[in-house]
């Protein structure tokens, strides 16, 4: 299930830390949770890529609108940047109040 359906106050801290209050398995309480997106999202030639790492090292103007992460990512040739976006609901989940990347 997508994390946004069971989370509130979703925001980005800096360029790579996803912050949210996530519903626990009891369905009644919420837990503050953070996830370093650099642990599961990388930059391959100017595009976000799941399963890679450290996109924020080569990104600028990173923002979060709803669940869509956007930014200008450096191309492999260096010097030029490409606009890119990715929907975090595709691979981020809420597991009993904790954000985590799906395998």
Of residues 73 and 2, which shows the higher confidence score? 73
Contacts of 77 (CB under 8 A, 6+ apart): none
Residue 74 belongs to a domain:
yes
Q: What does the pLDDT average to over 76-93?
A: 96
- Res 82 pLDDT > 90: yes
Number of compact structural domains in the chain: 1
Q: How far apart are CA 59 and CA 61, in angstroms?
A: 7
Q: Give the structural domain span for 24.
A: 3-94
Query: In this predicted structure, what is the pLDDT of residue 58?
Result: 98
Question: Do 22 and 30 contact (CB within 8 A), yes or no?
Answer: yes
pTM comes to 0.95
What CATH number is given to the structural domain containing 65? 2.30.60.10
Query: In this predicted structure, what is the pLDDT of residue 33?
Result: 99
Residue 101 belongs to a domain:
no
- Res 49 pLDDT > 80: yes
Residue 15 belongs to a domain:
yes
Give the model's confidence band at 79: pLDDT under 50 very low, under 70 low, under 90 confident, else very high.
Answer: confident
Residue 99 belongs to a domain:
no
Residue 103 belongs to a domain:
no
């Amino acid at each position: 299930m997508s994390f946004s359906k069971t989370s509130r106050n979703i925001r980005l801290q800096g360029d790579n830390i996803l912050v949210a209050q996530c519903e626990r398995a009891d369905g009644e309480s919420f837990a503050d949770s953070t996830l370093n997106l650099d642990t599961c999202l990388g930059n391959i030639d100017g595009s976000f890529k799941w399963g890679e790492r450290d996109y924020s090292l080569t990104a600028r103007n990173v923002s979060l609108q709803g669940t869509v992460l956007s930014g200008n990512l450096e191309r492999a040739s260096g010097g030029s940047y490409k606009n890119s976006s990715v929907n975090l609901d595709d691979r981020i989940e809420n597991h009993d109040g904790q954000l985590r990347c799906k395998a």
